[in-house]
Amino acid sequence: MGSILNSRSLARALLASVALAASVVLAGCDTDQVSLATNAKANQPVSPKLVAAMAEKDMDLQSPILIRLFKQEAELEVWKQTRNGQFALLKTYPICRWSGDLGPKVREGDRQAPEGFYSINPSQMNPQSAYYLSFNTGFPNAFDKALGRTGSQLMVHGDCSSRGCYAMTDEQIAEIYSLGRESFFGGQKAFQFQAYPFRMTPVNMAKHRNNPNMPFWRMIKEGYDHFEVTRQEPKVDFCEKKYVFDAAKAPDAKRDPVFDASAKCPAYVIPEEIASAVREKEQRDEAEYNKLVAKGTPVARLNTGIDGGMNKIFASKIPEGSTGLSEGAEGNTLQMLAMSKAPGTIPGTVNPPKPNIDAVAAAPQEEPVVAVSTSPSNTRVATAAPAEKSGGFFSNLGHKMGFGTADATATTSPPQATASVAPATTPTTAASRLKAAVTRFVPGHHEAAKDKPAVAAKSAEPAKPAETKVAATRPALKPSVNESAGNVTGSGVGQLAGAAPVVSSNSFDNRFSAVK
């Protein structure tokens, strides 16, 4: 059954490509359109193994998808709607590289990978990425804009290289891209992208309780909880500079509530069946959190200038590799992982996370522990920010659906270290903090070497071509990633309320018409 579905997928893609190529020739042989019609990378069918996993989980090839991503665990999950209308976990992908710190993106050039809820429509898919394939996260959304946050070209792409993006291997992004493509063929207008600092468990919340970002994290945890209890894509809105999830019209209201990220919240209600289930989960989580705090669960160290993280499976494959801010595995564990197969090709130019000496030396000599309020707050997001570059795969499709214009390019902003400080339990001088950071994160550095100054390599990504250019030296396509799929279950196929649509210049209109 799986092989039949996969064959149909390939045949449909080829037929659509031929139809698009023919229409392009008749229209005047636009070379940009021809390149799209023959783009082997973007037309790769979903792997037979993944199609078989869908059949086992009662999923259709073209049913809606939803993506969740976790920085600390360095994992990206693809969820897919089953025939009963709920979402189940299809597959978990280890993230090859992400940059910045745990916490949301604040400004252009801070190297931060975004956190929050975003909406990915067809025009945000970029088949001509210089990073093999990519899709634009849509940062900043309306919530980000209401807080004055800036940034552009924040992507999920291949090549395992990040300057504010989430980077996978080429094989991984090819598979994720194909899943998104098929969901659009099935009628999904946009899929939800949820990015978190870590899995929002009581243990992780307790470990990070003194982090200044905790109020924001408690806010987006509400959306996390809505998905956990319903296995449905949460409806996302925002008002009063906060997220609101699954808002509905009040019983006595004559029209649906209208939300504005910067304005006062309108009258709304959350359906009781959802509200009660979320409330019960929050109470259980809070009780467990309080127990962990009461027994003195250690507080996680704040970033000491380390730029991002990497899943341990990739760190094990790189000389002197480190997981950085992601969950680590050192010594024998990394050596054992080095014997396993990597999920895709790791470029030789990959830089593992390392401490930034300038950031550590510039840190204040003393740092108080920050007390953060634990009271939960409402939340909501929505909007895909317009961009100045183009290259998207489905742009005319996006126009048909009423989307606007935005980027589809991987970030090329220059490397810029994000300086954070360590908690009060760490050494209180810049020199001692630098020494500790180098000793911990730079393999080969020994405490005994006191006669030589400690030097750590400053993280610097190799120069990349502009995202809108096709990387001519890269192979045309990579094989699918052969990994086992996980499982679990949500619904909803619309774009986040208030999302600024993203449309690029390359047309996919004819191909989609041929398929539909």
pLDDT in tens, 223-242: 999 999 999 999 999 999 99
pLDDT in tens, 405-446: 333 333 333 334 333 433 444 444 444 544 554 444 444 443
Answer for the pair 218, 374: CB distance below 8 angstroms, yes or no: yes
Q: Give the SS3 label for residue 512.
A: helix
User: Highest mean pLDDT range out of 27-31, 191-195, 402-406, 499-503?
Assistant: 191-195
Q: Which residues contact 155 (CB under 8 A, 6 or more apart)?
A: 126, 129, 131, 134, 135, 136, 137, 165, 166, 409, 410, 411, 467
State percent of the chain over pLDDT 70: 60
pLDDT in tens, 184-213: 999 999 999 999 999 999 999 999 999 999
pLDDT band at 349 (very low <50, low <70, confident <90, very high): confident
pLDDT at 277: 98
pLDDT at 166 over 90: yes
Among candidate residues 411, 497, 503, 505, the one with its CA nearest the CA of residue 119: 497
Q: Across the beta sheet with 125-126, what order do the strands follow?
A: 97-98, 166-167, 155-157, 134-136, 125-126
The whole-angstrom separation of Cα 393 and Cα 132 is 13
Higher-pLDDT residue of 392 and 92 is 92
**DSSP state letters, 34-72:** HHHHT-TTTTPPPPHHHHHHHHHTTB-TTS-EEEEEETT
Task: Give the angle subtended at the CA of 211 by the CAs of 207 and 215, to the nearest 5°.
Answer: 105
pLDDT at 90: 98
Per DSSP, which regions of 48-202 are E strands?
A: 65-70, 75-81, 87-94, 97-98, 116-120, 125-126, 134-136, 155-157, 166-167, 191-196
What residues are labeled active site? 157, 165
Biggest alpha carbon–alpha carbon distance for the chain = 77
pLDDT at 61 over 60: yes
For residue 245, the 8-state DSSP code is E
The whole-angstrom separation of Cα 256 and Cα 250 is 8
The whole-angstrom separation of Cα 307 and Cα 203 is 24
Q: Which residues contact 9 (CB under 8 A, 6 or more apart)?
A: 45, 46, 51, 61, 182
pLDDT at 321: 85
Q: What is the mean pLDDT of residues 305-321?
A: 90
pLDDT at 144: 98
pLDDT at 151: 95
pLDDT at 412: 38
The whole-angstrom separation of Cα 177 and Cα 195 is 17
**DSSP state letters, 282-350:** HHHHHHHHHHHHHTTPPPPPPPSSB--B--HHHHTTSTT---BTSPP--THHHHHHTTSPPSS---TT-
120-129, 164-173, 421-430: the lowest-pLDDT one: 421-430
pLDDT band at 342 (very low <50, low <70, confident <90, very high): confident
Q: In a 10 Å sphere around its CB, with 0-12 CB exposed, 13-18 middle and 19+ buried, how is residue 488 labelled?
A: middle
Answer for the pair 353, 443: CB distance below 8 angstroms, yes or no: no
35-39, 162-166, 275-279, 381-385: the lowest-pLDDT one: 381-385
pLDDT in tens, 130-139: 999 999 999 9
Higher-pLDDT residue of 395 and 191 is 191
Q: Which own/partner contact pairs does 264-271 have at CB distance under 8 Å and 24+ positions apart?
A: 264/239, 264/240, 265/239, 265/240, 266/239, 268/244, 270/245, 270/246, 271/246
